[in-house]
Amino acid sequence: MPPRDPGPPVLEVQELSLELGIRGRWVPALDRVSLRIERGEALGLVGESGSGKSLTALSVPGLLPANARVTGGAIRVMGEDVLGRSERELAGLRARSVAFVFQNPTTYLNPVLTVGRQIAEVFERSPELLDPSGRVAALSRGERRRRARHKSIEYLRLVRIPDPERIVDQYPFALSGGMQQRVVIAMALARRPHLVIADEITTALDVTVQAQILGLLAELRRQIDMTLLLITHDLGIVAQLADRVAVMYSGRVVESADVRRLFRAPRHPYSRALLQAVPTLHDDRTVFRPIPGSMPAITDPPGGCRFHPRCPEVFAPCAGTRPGLAPVEEGHTVACHLYGGGAG
Amino acid sequence: MSEAAALLEVQDLVKHFPVGDGLLARRKGLVRAVDGVSFRVPHGHTFGLVGESGCGKSTVAMLLLKLLEPTAGRIAFDGRDLARARGAALHEFRRRVQIVFQDPYGSLDPRQTILSALIEPLSTLGVVAGRARAVERARESIALMGLDPEVLGRLPHELSGGQRQRIVIARALAVAPQLLVLDEPTASVDVSVQAQILCRLEELKGAQGLTYLLISHNLVVVRSMSDVVAVMYLGRLVEVAAAGELFGTPLHPYTAALIRAIPLPDPEAPRVAALARGDVPSPVRIPSGCRYHPRCPYAERVCRETDPPLAEVRSGHLAACHFPGVASRAAG
């Protein structure tokens, strides 16, 4: 049997470069970042603060801050170019194709609307979601409203909210942080997006509630074939949920690999150091291997490889030449002079 | 547990906050933030206090620093009752017990240079005489935390989060305390910086003869730093044991749920399991019986009716559960 045509990748970020206006000058913040996510796949984008992982994510649905400008590269969602689109077209993209879930659900939910009303807004904006056969124009207002409520309850059930018929009429403040985050996920899924971008979505939650949300995301991946871009600083979350990982450092992707390969045999000295800096429960007490120094400020990045001032394996070319992202094995790329690859 | 002399001893500590309805200021209920907590911390130990938001762990810290007065119970520091400390004794206590909070930005005055921030407690607490000596002490302290003395001339916003947190720790260490209360000391920094700070704290503990009370929601941090760990839930300690014992053989289902909730940085490790149902209830409406029972998958009738006391189940291992060890037996 011939393999099923996989179609275009859900997301393709190609050599994306971006600058931020800081105190009157333009400062490079992303430097030729490339990512690719196939349908049904979960990519974990990890890095510490200042690595550029959130900027990369925000650039996909056109949610960049006003002081950001793209200086090169391309972003394609389902094969269609995103950069250079009008705000109106981007709004359409966000409504249909790319759903973004943020860290703090309280700021995202409207406090004066019930949960059901907020999910129903999705169907008001995209009424075609109410009727798969496309005869939505023929529906009366009342019928549309009835279907929207029914669908809202269905999505609350999908995100495992207990007693959804009751919760649909509640206001956000009556819900706990974990329930609010589930509602936000339900709103995101109601659009039937091609891609869900989850930016540190469990950071504000307690660990027992985080475990519930991580379990939910794992189930949703199986159940509805969700394609996921997972932005996190937590390597544990990546190990739990992602198929592939891209590690960012100071505005660049330094390594990208299958999740098992990256955790078992990280190649880039930064990836290795990052993995060793995390204490684990199996370890005896006080086994920390800190990374000396700190992430460079984007206003004053070092030349060559940006990790070289902190790197234990630094050698001749590192300070002068930026290493290009080169394959070391099938599906495993590293930007480090230790593995050849030359300048990038 | 070790029988070494306790630097800190807490007995039946209670702190209730009345909640009024604002306008008429009539009392509507009580937040039972700390609801009968006892533990002791021997000299030179690190005592880890772990729990989720709203469990009362930070209120315990405020009580220990005498920033809040307890509703009931007793805190003894180096054998002396804290409630009776006045005048010079209280002044001395304030020097000997220091705290580091989670948010270093909130702990530093944005308009004050790092040098003044470090010198201020030295003069208020009368640790050193004269400005020259104070500046010298500030420099030493900064160096202890691995910072360059040039940061002394800076303002807080000119520094990174990791640098600020190290400065806050340096300020606490400058007055030569005996007990350092670390309330989420690395919750706001990146993992590589966290490792730097925890490593340095561990080195300084031995070198400076310090005792730590480490408060955190992060079990891995608590596990790696502590001699003894206490797990707190809705104002109570539900389990206390040596760190290795507690994480190796958790007896309370809540502790087991916390441990299984940690996403391990290993794709081959078992997936996280959500063993605790729902969210932490409000401390205004504490459930009957065992306060964990509504979230506990193993709860039986007795759990809804009777509040289990914190009792020694194995040698040196305390748990407040009618069925200690039930979670590990259920897991096989």
Secondary structure (DSSP) of A97-156: TEEEE-S-HHHHS-TTS-HHHHHHHHHHH-GGGG-TTS-GGGS-HHHHHHHHHHHHHHHH
Please identify every stretch of chain B with a pLDDT value under 70, giving residue numbers as ranges: 1-4, 20-27, 332
Q: Which of A70, A90, A93, A47 is nearest to A193 (CA)?
A: A93
Whole-angstrom CA distances from B239 to B60, B101, B256 are 16, 24, 11
User: What's the pLDDT score for residue A141?
Assistant: 85
Whole-angstrom CA distances from B137 to B116, B119, B172 are 12, 8, 12
Instruction: Identify the band that residue A282 occupies on the pLDDT scale cut at 50, 70 and 90.
Output: low
CA-based end-to-end distance of chain A: 40
CA distance B188 to B191: 10
**Which of B243, B262, B276 minimises the CB distance to A236?**
B262
> Would you call B285 exposed, middle or buried from its count of C-beta atoms within 10 A (0-12, 13-18, 19+)?
exposed
Cα dihedral sign, B126-B132-B135-B136: negative
**pLDDT (tens digit per residue) in A57-106:** 999 998 899 999 999 999 999 999 999 888 888 888 888 899 999 888 88
> Which residues of chain B have a CB within 8 Å of the CB of A236?
262-265
B99 vs A295, higher pLDDT: B99
**A238 Cα to chain B: minimum distance (Å):** 8
- Tell me the mean pLDDT in the region A239-249: 96
User: What's the pLDDT score for residue A95?
Assistant: 80
ipTM score here? 0.86
What are the structure tokens assigned to A39, written together? 């349908």
User: What's the pLDDT score for residue B315?
Assistant: 95
Who contacts B266 (Cβ-Cβ below 8 Å, separation ≥6)?
A239, A263, A280
Q: What is the DSSP letter of A294?
A: -
User: What's the pLDDT score for residue B2?
Assistant: 44
- Tell me the mean pLDDT in the region A170-189: 93
Q: Which of B226, B193, B220 is nearest to A277 (CA)?
A: B193
User: What's the pLDDT score for residue A285?
Assistant: 52
**A210 Cα to chain B: minimum distance (Å):** 7
CA dihedral A7, A12, A14, A18 (to 10 degrees): 160
Phi, psi torsion values for B146, nearest 5 degrees? 70, 30
User: What's the pLDDT score for residue A290?
Assistant: 82
Neighbours of B146 (CB within 10 A): 16
User: What's the pLDDT score for residue B25?
Assistant: 56
Whole-angstrom CA distances from A296 to A293, B160, B188 are 9, 10, 18
> Which residues of chain B have a CB within 8 Å of the CB of A283?
224
Percentage of residues in chain A with pLDDT exceeding 70? 95
**pLDDT (tens digit per residue) in B238-258:** 999 999 999 999 999 999 999
- Model pTM score: 0.90
> Which residues of chain B have a CB within 8 Å of the CB of A284?
244
User: What's the pLDDT score for residue A287?
Assistant: 64
- The answer to whether the CB atoms of A291 and B264 lie below 8 A apart is no
Tell me which of A51, A233, A281 to substitute to probe the interface with B (most B C-beta atoms closer than 10 Å): A281
Would the pLDDT of A5 be above 70? no
> Would you call B129 exposed, middle or buried from its count of C-beta atoms within 10 A (0-12, 13-18, 19+)?
exposed
CA distance A53 to A248: 7
Q: Which of B255, B258, B217, B259 is nearest to B238 (CA)?
A: B255
B178 vs A142, higher pLDDT: B178
Number of residue pairs across A and B with CB atoms under 8 Å? 145
**Which of B160, B191, B261 minimises the CB distance to A278?**
B191
Q: Any chain A CB within 8 A of the CB of B242?
A: no
What are the structure tokens assigned to A271, written together? 């990836």
Tell me which of B279, B285, B295, B296 to substitute to probe the interface with A (most A C-beta atoms closer than 10 Å): B279
